[in-house]
Structure 1
Amino acid sequence: MQISALDAGVLLGYLVVVFGIGLWFARGNDSTEEYFVGGRRFRGWVIGLSLVGTSISSVTFIAYPADAFKTTWLRYLPNLTLPIAVALAAWLILPIFRRGRTTTAYEFLEQRFGPSVRVYGAVAFIIAQLVRLATILWLLSLLLQQITGLSPVTAIVLSGLFVGTYTILGGIDAVIWTDVIQTIVLLLGGMACLWVIVDLLPGGLGQILSTATEAGKFSFGEMQQGEITAPRWDLSLSAKTGSMLLLVGLTNWLTEYTSNQNTVQRYCAAASTAEARRGMLVCVLASLPIWAFYMFLGTALWVLFQVQPALPATEILDGTRKAEQLLPWFITEFLPPGITGLVLAAALAAAMSSMDSSINSIATVSVVDIYRRHVRPGATDRHYLHAAWAIAAVTTLCMIAGALLLERASTNTLQDVILIMVSLLGGGLLGLYILGFISRRGDARAAWCGIACTLLFTGWTVAAGHDVLPDAMAAPFDLYYTGLIGNLIMFGVGYVAALLWGRRSTAANAAA
């Protein structure tokens, strides 16, 4: 694709603003308190938009429209539980993290279970985020290759160094403020796409609403053999019913707002508990409409290509072309100069807002939970700040190396690696935190018993899902529910172990 000079100017302007923010905040990063939590002075609306930017990725920009185009709004259903999860986290969990001067989500694990469990949580987070970073960078490089014609290696290295540099320089201040800008750019880019679709349709917005409603495209039904079937609402572990999807969504959002460092770090950066709660409210009020908007965008594209058929759209609907190619193809073929640049900037924003948060969070967790706690305690704050810079730089290099490995791997291999890593490292973390939040029974022994059983369970489901085990050992449930069941196992086993073993003295638990 050859972009116009106007589009190139829009893209360049966006990149200059983002990098300039990193340089601006680099001047004030003279302590770990500033670098990790921005001096704990952020207002609620800034925290809220930053939370939106962190949670938004290429999934929002690419996968949501693709899914709504090919099927219905079923993917949106789990998001409806976000307000419940945020309300629970805001009133029950947030005060725990706001006590004292908490910086990471895993400090709580040491307070409750001991240092070994804290290290486990920190290491699991770091590894999972490295996998996520490499994946997002690789996906971003695919778009850059299409835009600029750069080679895969050049696109990966340049984009990785760009994001890594402004994040290393600016710390959490740059991350939060660039997330705010990237959230706004993302929404503007999507609105530009919808404006073009409405302009292309003879009946405009009304035609989208009437045609899609008549076809059932706004429903939560499943697409089976080209027909939309009504959703089931019963409880079942063998099928994706509406009720079970809501439970999965609640589990995922509770995990996000109780144990994910990317989120907890925002809590700690807020000026007060009240401001943090305002930020969580802003996040809910902004996220649900933005996600719905991108689902609507996919539905609008379906209506457009019913009226004006195009071969790529037909191939996506019949399965001969990947649905995720829909929006990039529409951008390059239908948008006018200037608008194309804005939407491409939005696509970059979707990826960059996730990458910068993960890089800064990895540096924070590495220094606070591991390096300062166990490797080099008692050093000066300046030393830990330099260590954070170094870790952020190493994280950037690992991200680039991982993306280069993914570039050489097949798509199936990529999907398998991501599935295995996420399943093994993320399984049961919510159950561990709930055990710590609601019960004073048990110590590190109970926690590790729950962790071990959960790892065995998730390892079994991964093996069963890849046909490694004989049929007799196949999972008797839909593997989509692995995370939900894993959290129940973590909590259940941990609680029973706590009842059996009780809790050791404070000194003995602190050594565990």
Structure 2
Amino acid sequence: MTPTIILGVIIAYFLLLIGISYLTGKNADNDQFFLAGRKSNWLVVAFGMIGASLSGVTFISVPGTVGAGGANQAFSYMQVVFGYLLGYAVIALVLMPLYYRMQLTSIYTYLEERLGLSAYKTGAAYFLLSRILGASFRLYLVAIVLQNFVLGPMGIPFWATVAATILLIWVYTFRGGINTIIWTDTLQTLSMLVAVVITIFSIGSALETDIGGMIDYVQNSEYSQIFFFEGGWSDPNNFFKQFIGGALITIVMTGLDQDMMQKNLSCPTIRDAQKNMFTFSAVLVFANFLFLSLGALLYIYAANVGLSIPAQSDELYPMIALQHLSPMVGIVFIIGLIAAAYSSADSALTALTTSFCVDFLDFEKSDVSEEEKKKTRFRVHIGFSVLLFIVILIFNLINDRAVISQLLKVAGYTYGPLLGLFAFGMLTDLKVNNRWVIPICIAAPILTYLLDLFSASIFYGFQFGYLNLAVNGLLTFVGLLTISYHVPKTEED
């Protein structure tokens, strides 16, 4: 597995993506870029969304957490995944009908109609912040692997690796947008799952066993426990915390996220979108179980051959795939990692462009010609590409996983106000004083952070974990209640 071979595989892979982009992006207008003309095949969307949901972080981090101890140890992450199923049902049966009824391009325009301009802009701004940090981190992980194993040994500096990483996304998304991404995501999901399956079979071969033997290995290992009830509320793997947290994460990070919902809104009808969501959620359970099984086998393999476990658990899969298994596994690992990261990052770049154009440049209300809007969209697309480049370089300058994890945790807090805003809009018929919406939506994440910071001492060892999202949303909801008022029926009429 020389750097030259890996680079050749990467180039071939991206030529395929660019070919798909050429076919799907020809003569694409703004409607094609934003929502694919609302003509997407629901089954293609469902399969492609698997890759976007898993991301590069899942690809290398979830297998590593299986044997690392602490949060998400063993198969406890499946408790979160089971919570996802509840969340996806809420999205399909509650949120999607609302979005389709209003014929939304950006889901945050709902907030303007229901709660006013400040709520609308606040929701969209929180999405932009969350996605910029999240997409940058996913690409940062890919850039590090490429730098360490491919481009670095060739003498190429890290900034050039990052620039090339983002440029490739821009090249195959700037024409077709979501119309292209729906198809490239399908290829990338397939690449990711094939990489995991080939790695599993390669480990089985190295351990001189078949599928049945690998199942026995996993079942009889210390890593096979799924449900955790005995640890109480202070246990980060407690079933109820992870299940409820998983449901809330899904509702907010999929149902209230422009990136994920943009693909669903590209389906022609609400029925197609719902079929897409239910199919996608079922396949996602299988995919996550596959990743956790891979994680258990990686630790079993390392123990059998006497490998030292890396200090950073997310380095285990790259180390074994690239240095201890066959060259074929190394090749499919690189493709799978790139596919995993790019399937979420490319759609994030398109969603950022869409949200900014619709929510802040008012594309849907503007009288400017379509050609001028297309030029503006082109410039916005470039602008967000440059911004991602800068944020990734900042991550690299920090060069401290703990600090970066805190930054991502902050980004996670920004979904809480979205949960509170949408919940308030859908569960009440109250209006709000727009002047106080922004202060409340800033205060809620800060208070949540402080509660989380001191929760163990205040609540006798209890830690919120995934329930931070619920606390954040609740604080936002309560804050909005304090600035709310009833509108007389005569005024509504």
TM-score scaled by length of structure 1: 0.87
Q: Which residue of 2 aligns with 1:153?
A: 159
1:12 has 2:11 as partner: yes
Q: Which residue of 2 aligns with 1:129?
A: 131
Which segment is superposed worse, 251-260 or 32-41? Answer: 251-260
1:337 has 2:327 as partner: yes
Structure 1 residue 477 displacement after superposition? 4.7
Q: How does 1:436-475 map to 2 (within 5 A)?
A: 436-440=425-429, 442-445=430-433, 452-453=439-440, 455-463=442-450
RMSD across aligned C-alpha pairs, in angstroms?
A: 2.8
Whole-Å separation in 2 of the counterparts to 1:460 and 1:436? 22
Structure 1 residue 34 displacement after superposition? 1.2
Call closer, same or farther: CA 1:155–1:87 in 2, change over 3 Å. same
Q: How does 1:208-219 map to 2 (within 5 A)?
A: 208-219=214-225
Q: Which residue of 2 aligns with 1:91?
A: 93
Structure 1 residue 202 displacement after superposition? 2.9
Call closer, same or farther: CA 1:472–1:197 in 2, change over 3 Å. closer
Structure 1 residue 303 displacement after superposition? 1.9
Whole-Å separation in 1 of the counterparts to 2:453 and 2:475? 22
Instruction: Give the partner amino acid of 1:489.
Output: L
* Match among 429, 432, 435 for residue 418 of structure 2: 429
Could you tell me whether the CA contact under 8 Å between 1:35 and 1:385 is conserved in 2?
A: no
Q: Which residue of 2 aligns with 1:169?
A: 175
Instruction: Give the partner amino acid of 2:431.
Output: D
Instruction: Give the partner amino acid of 1:171.
Output: G
Q: Which residue of 1 aligns with 2:390?
A: 401
Percent identity at matched positions? 18
Could you tell me whether the CA contact under 8 Å between 1:428 and 1:487 is conserved in 2?
A: yes
Instruction: Give the partner amino acid of 1:152.
Output: F
Instruction: Give the partner amino acid of 2:87.
Output: A
Could you tell me whether the CA contact under 8 Å between 1:67 and 1:75 is conserved in 2?
A: no
Q: Which residue of 2 aligns with 1:256?
A: 253
Q: Which residue of 2 aligns with 1:308?
A: 305
Could you tell me whether the CA contact under 8 Å between 1:461 and 1:479 is conserved in 2?
A: no
Whole-Å separation in 1 of the counterparts to 2:462 and 2:170? 41
Could you tell me whether the CA contact under 8 Å between 2:118 and 2:437 is conserved in 1?
A: no
Q: Which residue of 2 aligns with 1:207?
A: 213
Whole-Å separation in 1 of the counterparts to 2:344 and 2:7? 23
SS of 2:67 mapped into structure 1? helix
Deviation per CA, 1:297-350, whole angstroms, max 9, x where unpaired? 011112222322213x3xx4xxxx110110110111133233422221110001
Could you tell me whether the CA contact under 8 Å between 1:109 and 1:118 is conserved in 2?
A: yes
Q: How does 1:220-259 map to 2 (within 5 A)?
A: 220=226, 231-232=229-230, 236=233, 240-259=237-256
SS of 2:327 mapped into structure 1? coil
Whole-Å separation in 2 of the counterparts to 1:349 and 1:323? 21
Q: Which residue of 2 aligns with 1:363?
A: 353
Could you tell me whether the CA contact under 8 Å between 1:141 and 1:159 is conserved in 2?
A: yes
Q: Which residue of 2 aligns with 1:277?
A: 274
Call closer, same or farther: CA 1:203–1:24 in 2, change over 3 Å. closer
SS of 1:338 mapped into structure 2? helix
Whole-Å separation in 2 of the counterparts to 1:217 and 1:60? 18
Q: Which residue of 1 aligns with 2:52?
A: 54
Q: How does 1:40-51 map to 2 (within 5 A)?
A: 40-51=38-49
Instruction: Give the partner amino acid of 2:486.
Output: G
Call closer, same or farther: CA 1:133–1:308 in 2, change over 3 Å. same
Structure 2: unaligned runs, 5 residues or longer: none
Structure 1 residue 115 displacement after superposition? 2.0
Whole-Å separation in 2 of the counterparts to 1:304 and 1:57? 24
Whole-Å separation in 1 of the counterparts to 2:121 and 2:490? 18
SS of 1:215 mapped into structure 2? coil
Could you tell me whether the CA contact under 8 Å between 2:35 and 2:105 is conserved in 1?
A: yes
Instruction: Give the partner amino acid of 1:403.
Output: I
Could you tell me whether the CA contact under 8 Å between 2:40 and 2:267 is conserved in 1?
A: yes
Whole-Å separation in 2 of the counterparts to 1:88 and 1:426? 17
TM-score scaled by length of structure 2: 0.90
Structure 1 residue 176 displacement after superposition? 1.2
Whole-Å separation in 2 of the counterparts to 1:124 and 1:466? 22
SS of 2:184 mapped into structure 1? helix
Structure 1: unaligned runs, 5 residues or longer: 222-229
* Match among 451, 458, 482 for residue 468 of structure 2: 482
1:503 has 2:487 as partner: yes
